[in-house]
Amino acid sequence: MSKSKLWGGRFEAGTSELMDRFNASLPFDINLMEYDIEGSLAHVKMLGRQDILTAAEVEEITAGLKAVKKDLQAELEAGDFDFNEAEDIHSLVEARLTAKIGELGGKLHTGRSRNDQVAVDLRLYLKDQTELIREMILKFMQVLLDLAEEHTETVMPGYTHLQRAQALTFGHHLLAYYFKLKRDYERFGDALKRINVSPLGSGALAGSSFNLDRDFTAQELGFERACENSMDGVSDRDFVLEFLSVASNLMLHLSRLSEEVILWNSKEFSFIELADQYTTGSSIMPQKKNPDLAELVRGKTGRVIGSLNQLMLTIKGLPLAYNKDLQEDKEGLFDSVNTVKIILELYPEMLKTMTVKKETMEKAAATGFLNATELADFLADKGIPFRQAHQIVGEAVLFASKKEKELDQLQQKEWEKILGQYLKVDAGELKEKLSVNAAVNSHATKGGPAFEESRRVIIKEKEFLAQKE
């Protein structure tokens, strides 16, 4: 049987079955069902206020829409919904309404087009999802902040070029991600401003000859305002692009963190051990514990960025106003929303349950001459130009590595050999200066890894999160 349609008057033949399937969006825009009905309820209420429909008509249509929603919810829950019943969610709801209340159902679409309708649905959906995602990011930030607090004094090597560079703390490292996520939280908030606009009443593209109150429907649906141009209203999808771009950015952050989690969890680093709940085994190598969650997050980042790219390519070259190409805006968006949400739920749990191997981190921070810059700074502080100090320390590192020692293991005599010509040396003082903790704590610049400075930042951010509750 051919699907129920919203058009037909000017057609002599039905569409082919295959064309129907190709054209349909119900299998995915069923996701918008509740928003579609919400939009219709606001529209019909406005039609009543503007005397376009009678109060009795409004009442009957409203009750009908609510009943349709209940039916659909029940069918979806029971798993006996027929995804081939109609072309899209809009035709489905209208057909169900008409089946329930008779011909009057046909009045619902007065002064409206599926073009503004679908844009309303998508915005209502995305508004909800963006708010939800923002809340989830806040929870994630809280977990990062708690871990950072726990590890304010857990020293570890910091890396550049994946080479041990300078000592810092695990807490400081996690705080870096905290701030990346904080920006994502803000970016979703910015995107929300542009999502939160009502296109309802834009009609097919040129508004309507009915006296619609667009400000009323905008307010009724909780939008900040109604859009100012009907052609823009039905053709704008940059609110989706913006969301996907912000989501891609979030995924990029989580992908970078995942890469680090994977490295840290490896035997080579052994900085952390992920809990059994968030790792998987190998079917052939019994000793393995794979960081699948982190790997999947890294992998799915490509998928979200892919959806962003796909929609940009879909929109490129589209003339105004609505074109069916725009139906392609949904699947990638839904997929991205679901992907981001499940990750935001799982990831903090993985972090909370990991074991942090402090001793390994500390040992790694104490080897590999991470304190070389410290020594150079010390010499510069004594009046030796930094460039020259750098050269001297280079020689000291060469000297120590030949002896298979770290800098802070050098004896008085050895120091005299290296530094004697420049200053009076005291091996005890140097040993203290070059210890890992002293090195970290000397980096007390604003935003640096010194324990006290990290504590200051954590207190400030705790206040920020407390305010959001």
**CA distances to 87, 96, 121, 200 from 92, in Å:** 7, 6, 14, 19
CA quadruple 78, 82, 86, 88: dihedral, nearest 10: 60
**Contact set with ligand ARG (CB under 6 A):** 25, 29, 88, 114-115, 118, 322, 324, 326-327
* Minimal distance, residue 218 CB to ligand ARG, in Å: 20
Indicate the residue among 104 and 204 with the shorter CB distance to ligand ARG: 204
> What single letter denotes the amino acid at residue 132?
L
**CA distances to 191, 237, 336 from 225, in Å:** 15, 17, 27
Indicate the residue among 25 and 198 with the shorter CB distance to ligand ARG: 25
Burial class (CB in 10 A: 0-12, 13-18, 19+), 237: buried
- Within 10 angstroms of residue 252's Cβ, the number of other Cβ atoms is 16
Indicate the residue among 147 and 326 with the shorter CB distance to ligand ARG: 326
CA quadruple 119, 116, 222, 59: dihedral, nearest 10: -130
Please say if 161 is a catalytic residue.
yes
How many C-alpha atoms does 150 have within 13 Å on its Cβ side? 14
Indicate the residue among 81 and 159 with the shorter CB distance to ligand ARG: 81
Who's near 449: CB < 8 A, 6+ residues apart?
A: 158, 167, 168, 169, 172, 440, 443
Whether residue 155 contacts residue 361, with contact meaning beta carbons closer than 8 Å, is answered with: yes
* Minimal distance, residue 17 CB to ligand ARG, in Å: 18
Show the tokens assigned to 391: 């050269």
Please say if 248 is a catalytic residue.
no
Indicate the residue among 270 and 327 with the shorter CB distance to ligand ARG: 327
Whether residue 182 contacts residue 161, with contact meaning beta carbons closer than 8 Å, is answered with: no
Whether residue 374 contacts residue 381, with contact meaning beta carbons closer than 8 Å, is answered with: no
Indicate the residue among 161 and 324 with the shorter CB distance to ligand ARG: 324
Return the DSSP state at 369. S
Whether residue 407 contacts residue 400, with contact meaning beta carbons closer than 8 Å, is answered with: yes
Closest CA to 374 of 396, 354, 352: 396
* Minimal distance, residue 100 CB to ligand ARG, in Å: 22
Closest CA to 177 of 3, 297, 275: 297
Q: Which of 282, 435, 442, 443 is catalytic?
A: 282
Alpha helix locations (H) across 281-426?
A: 292-315, 331-353, 358-366, 372-381, 386-402, 412-419
- Within 10 angstroms of residue 203's Cβ, the number of other Cβ atoms is 22
Q: Which of 161, 230, 401, 435 is catalytic?
A: 161
Whether residue 447 contacts residue 469, with contact meaning beta carbons closer than 8 Å, is answered with: no
Indicate the residue among 43 and 114 with the shorter CB distance to ligand ARG: 114
> What span, in angstroms and rounded, lies between the C-alpha atoms of 367 and 249?
35
* Minimal distance, residue 130 CB to ligand ARG, in Å: 20
> What span, in angstroms and rounded, lies between the C-alpha atoms of 290 and 265?
9
> What span, in angstroms and rounded, lies between the C-alpha atoms of 136 and 468?
12
User: What's the residue count for the chain?
Assistant: 469
- Within 10 angstroms of residue 127's Cβ, the number of other Cβ atoms is 20
* Minimal distance, residue 165 CB to ligand ARG, in Å: 51
Residues classed as catalytic? 161, 282
